[in-house]
A = this chain, B = another copy of it.
Amino acid sequence: MLVSGTPYRTIWLNDDGASVDVIDQTRLPHDFEVLTLRTLEDAAHAIQTMVVRGAPLIGATAAYGICLGLREDASDMALNHAAATLTATRPTAVNLRWATERMVDHVRALPDQDRLAAAYLEAARIADEDAAQCRSIGDHGATLLQTLAAGRDAPLNVLTHCNAGWLATVDWGTALAPIYVAHEAGLPVHVWVDETRPRNQGAALTAWELAEHGIPHTVIVDNAGGHLMQAGKVDCCITGTDRTTYTGDVANKIGTYLKALAAHDNGIPFYVALPGTTIDWTVADGAEIPIEERGTDEVTRITGRLDAGGTATVILTPAASPAANPAFDVTPARLVTALITERGVCEASEAGLRGLYPGTR
């Protein structure tokens, strides 16, 4: 997608055919900086410090991390060390493990001298596949948006929560992909961007990528969406998901459930966009999904830019007040109008998902 008019992905191989560049997402939205990864350690550090974030992008970074490791040493021992180093950075990230294993499986059978070239090709394939999958989610979702917009003059108002945009993937994003595709096709769209406390990925990342790509949008606090829906100012919601049960329950960033309730109460479609890889074929009831409790500093402190330049972190709560920070919630399938996948749109139900992913389990 565009940054100041120039097309970017979140990760790309440099012309030297060796080093890999990524957008430093910890500096957004205030500074756009590209960071060059030259070693396995650079890649691991980028994942660990959330220079890159979002499951698909973490996977692609790990894939290139294996390449960077093989540049120094292509032996089995080095390959195992690279895989272990990368998967240890964020132990709960499913895509991280998946991408690392795919890379290792792909090169292990080859003689040492052939491994590096094969690894770079496979990493590029992982990145390209992710971009294509997201584009496909975008195509299917854009059709939904076109249908909703039929006969309207005013822009279609879409509300989104957190960041499931191209910054979380290699390109296009998941929840925002339908918006980018619809925009490309000339459909006027306006996005309500939930700031998404506590980490403010909406205000920082979603707003930034929409602004850079030239898509009209407005940042709101997480409290505002219900009122906007009551006032007829939201035509549909689209969010991403971290994990989807095979019955269509959706675990996503904390607060998603509240927006789904409001959409349901106001008869507004609530869509969830996802690649098939986030479907958990072992869990029937979303209530069984364990919810990560994150550090309370994310609630009691916030970081932003100072008018004078530079950033600062400020404390928001009384010193004597404890805080709690559940990071995700589960939206039951009954509140989800449809799931938008790379294979098409389906009902948020076991029948819907098995129809698109037959034979999967």
Hey, which bits of chain A sit against chain B, CB under 8 A? 28-30, 192-193, 195-198, 200, 203-204, 207-208, 210-212, 217-228, 230-231, 253-255, 257-259, 261-262, 265, 287, 291, 299-307, 311-318, 320-326, 328-330
Contacts and interface: CB of A to CB of B under 8 A. Distances in A.
Given A230-B257, A258-B261, A261-B258, A224 B324 contact: yes
Nearest to A308: B312
A306 B300 CA distance: 12
Given A197-B221, A299-B221, A314-B312, A226 B257 contact: yes
A316 B255 contact: no
Contact of A314 (B217, B224, B314): B314
Q: How many copies are assembled?
A: 2
Q: Is the interface of A mostly helix, strand, loop or mixed?
A: mixed
B261 A265 contact: yes
Contacts of A253: 223
Contacts of A198: 221, 223
A49 to B, nearest CB: 20
B220 A299 contact: yes
A326 B195 contact: no
B207 A321 contact: yes
A253 to B, nearest CB: 8
A307 B321 CA distance: 16
Contact of A228 (B204, B305, B326): B326
Contacts of A226: 255, 257-258, 261, 329
22 contacts: A28-B318, A29-B321, A30-B315, A30-B318, A198-B221, A203-B321, A218-B321, A218-B323, A220-B323, A220-B325, A223-B253, A224-B254, A224-B255, A224-B324, A226-B261, A227-B254, A230-B330, A258-B258, A261-B262, A302-B314, A302-B316, A307-B315
